[in-house]
């Protein structure tokens, strides 16, 4: 069905894949996040790939993560692509090392308190209205939910490749964030028994 090895793969792609996997294939079963410990099968586990940085998608990520952690599930959130920007410190305005990265960060203002909605943003009116409605119905804000999740032991794992692409450094990020990991760690976690994985 596929064309196995029709052409030799170029070397830089292989090198890229190796860094994406972040371990050699043989080593891959021991994820980078916990290289020295045996991975035990969790009773129940939730793994979320938090790809989006928008208010209306970060909210379900944080609500599900909090609920799972409160129920005693092992809970991991892999923050990647646009989904890494909410985990930049709120007070950071411009991040990145070159003008392209600075421009991307400028247009997608990072930080958990600066989320936009995916539709009806209207220069911030959408998030404001949702904030008002949320408070009215006692729904916590993204910032409160993030703090609760950290306190409940939810593990937030930033994507190494995304940090490189946006030129983000460790000191740009919030304190609660774990060490950067690659795809292998996430794949290993997602395929364990009693585990639900969501791409949000």
Q: Shortest gap between Cβ of 69 and a second copy (angstroms)?
A: 9
Nearer to a second copy, 9 or 38 (CB): 9
Nearer to a second copy, 21 or 90 (CB): 21
Q: Shortest gap between Cβ of 92 and a second copy (angstroms)?
A: 19
Nearer to a second copy, 82 or 111 (CB): 82
Q: Shortest gap between Cβ of 177 and a second copy (angstroms)?
A: 8
Written as one string, the DSSP assignment of the chain is ---TTSSPPPHHHHHHHHHHH-S-TTGGGS-TTSTTSPPPPPSSEEEEEE---SHHHHHHHHHHHHHHHHTT-EEEEEE-GGGGGGGB-TT-----SSHHHHHHHHHS--STTS---SS--GGGHHHHHHHHHHHHTTPPPHHHHHHHHHHHTPEEEEBHHHHHHHT--GGGB-TT----B-HHHHHHHHTSTTEEEEE-
Q: Shortest gap between Cβ of 88 and a second copy (angstroms)?
A: 17
Phi/psi of residue 46, each to 5°? -120, 125
Q: Shortest gap between Cβ of 17 and a second copy (angstroms)?
A: 5
Cβ-contact 168, 95 below 8 angstroms: yes
């Amino acid at each position: 069905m596929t064309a196995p090895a029709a052409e030799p793969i170029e070397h830089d792609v292989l090198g890229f894949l190796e860094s994406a996997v972040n371990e050699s294939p043989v080593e891959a079963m021991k994820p980078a996040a916990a290289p020295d410990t045996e991975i035990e099968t969790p009773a129940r586990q939730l793994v979320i790939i938090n790809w989006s940085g928008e208010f209306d998608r970060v909210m379900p990520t944080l609500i599900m993560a909090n609920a799972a952690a409160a129920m005693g599930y092992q809970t991991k959130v892999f923050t990647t692509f646009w989904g890494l920007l909410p985990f930049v410190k709120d007070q950071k305005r411009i991040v990145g090392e070159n003008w392209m990265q600075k421009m991307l960060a400028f247009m997608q203002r990072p930080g958990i308190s600066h989320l936009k909605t995916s539709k009806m943003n209207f220069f911030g009116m959408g998030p404001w209205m949702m904030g008002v409605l949320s408070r009215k119905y006692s729904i916590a804000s993204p910032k409160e939910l993030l703090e609760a999740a950290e306190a409940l032991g939810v593990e937030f794992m930033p994507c190494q490749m995304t940090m490189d692409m946006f030129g983000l450094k460790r000191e740009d990020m919030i304190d609660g964030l774990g060490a950067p990991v690659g795809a292998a760690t996430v794949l290993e976690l997602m395929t364990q028994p009693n585990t639900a994985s969501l791409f949000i």
